[in-house]
Chains A and B, each alone.
Chain A
Amino acid sequence: MASSSERLLAGKVALITGTNRGIGRAMMETFARQGAIVYAGARTEGCLDAAAAELGRRCETEVCPVYFDVTDGAGMRAAFVRIKRERQRLDVLVNNAGIMRDAVIGMVTNDLLQETFAVNVFAVAQAIQYAAKFMVPQKSGSIVNLASIVGVAGHAGQLAYSASKGAVIAMTKTAAKELAPHGIRVNAIAPGMIDAGVFQAIGAERARTFAATIGMGRLGRPEDVANAAVFLASDLADYVTGQILGVDGAVAI
């Protein structure tokens, strides 16, 4: 482990949503290793307790589980109120929680659109609003949103998901412009095909087929995305805002 003075996020207070598995779990671990005080968001009460305690001890920092559904306004508000009470500041927000429901155009229901946008867009907007309440008076902060390569390029069978991630990209650019005068940076990561969560469900054979379309010849690892998030959250990216950082190994989509 790097010494405290070398750790990129030493002492920074970070809230990461959707940390129970996959990319979010890798972010929780990577942020802790880099010295951040991590508020790790997840929906299921108690699901992170043991892992967070062990990670905090191992990384000599604090990893605090905070349980809420990002679509529950009261729950999200309570999470931010807790951070305000316990830390009085927030340096980093990572909007990672998201859902992906595939459907061809003729089968995209209104409910599917509503559900996808509730998690991937509306909750992100609300979290940005709350984070800005901390960061504007601080005159500093970094917000990292999880977009997707399909939000940039589109993808057959993903009308709802790609539209939601396109909205995340637009929100990122707008928030970056509005918050830049306050010293707050807002960026997004657009992962390609990452070997995590929903992508694992397609099976090994299809995964190999997809991997063959990637310039670097392999699926991305959750840690690849987490490392990009650390960079954007850290002072190394002090003059980087409004950017959509592809983490995709030169995938062809």
Chain B
Amino acid sequence: MTNSEKYDNAVMAIFEVGADELLTVAYQSIAKWDSVGHMRLMAEIEGAFGILLDTEDIVGFSSYETGKKILRKYGVEL
């Protein structure tokens, strides 16, 4: 499984959205992406990629697209 697939699967599974919704999904744009859902996503991503996100990046992880930029900072090729 590629890193992009891992990332997409994590977002889709936790927020129960389809692939066609990924580009528009953002923090608090849907009911499931609340603070609890956000921390679930962060834990899932850290486990999937073997990284520890800084708190500033967790707070800044405001959308699917922004998340990609942040993950690249940690050497995750997407």
Q: Give chain A's interface residues, CB within 8 Å of chain B.
A: 73, 77, 80-81, 84-85, 126, 129-130, 133, 136-137
Contact = CB atoms under 8 A, between A and B. Distances in A.
A137 B39 contact: no
A85 B49 CA distance: 12
Please list the 4 inter-chain residue pairs (A to B) with the smallest Cβ-Cβ separation, ordered nearest first.
Answer: A137-B43, A81-B52, A136-B43, A137-B47
A140 to B, nearest CB: 14
Contacts of B50: 84-85
B54 A133 contact: no
A133 B46 contact: yes
Interface string B31-55: 0000000010011001100101011
A133 B50 CA distance: 11
Contacts of A136: 39, 43
A116 B12 CA distance: 44
Contact of B54 (A77, A84, A85): A77
Interface residues of B, number: 9
Nearest to A137: B43
- DSSP majority for the B interface? helix
Contacts of B54: 73, 77
19 contacts: A73-B54, A77-B52, A77-B54, A80-B52, A81-B52, A84-B50, A84-B52, A85-B50, A126-B55, A129-B55, A130-B52, A133-B42, A133-B43, A133-B46, A133-B52, A136-B39, A136-B43, A137-B43, A137-B47
Contacts of A73: 54
A129 B52 CA distance: 11
Contacts of B46: 133
A229 B66 CA distance: 41
Contacts of B52: 77, 80-81, 84, 130, 133
A73 B55 CA distance: 10
A129 B42 CA distance: 12
A84 B55 CA distance: 17
A80 B43 CA distance: 15
A80 B54 CA distance: 11
Contacts of B43: 133, 136-137
A242 to B, nearest CB: 20
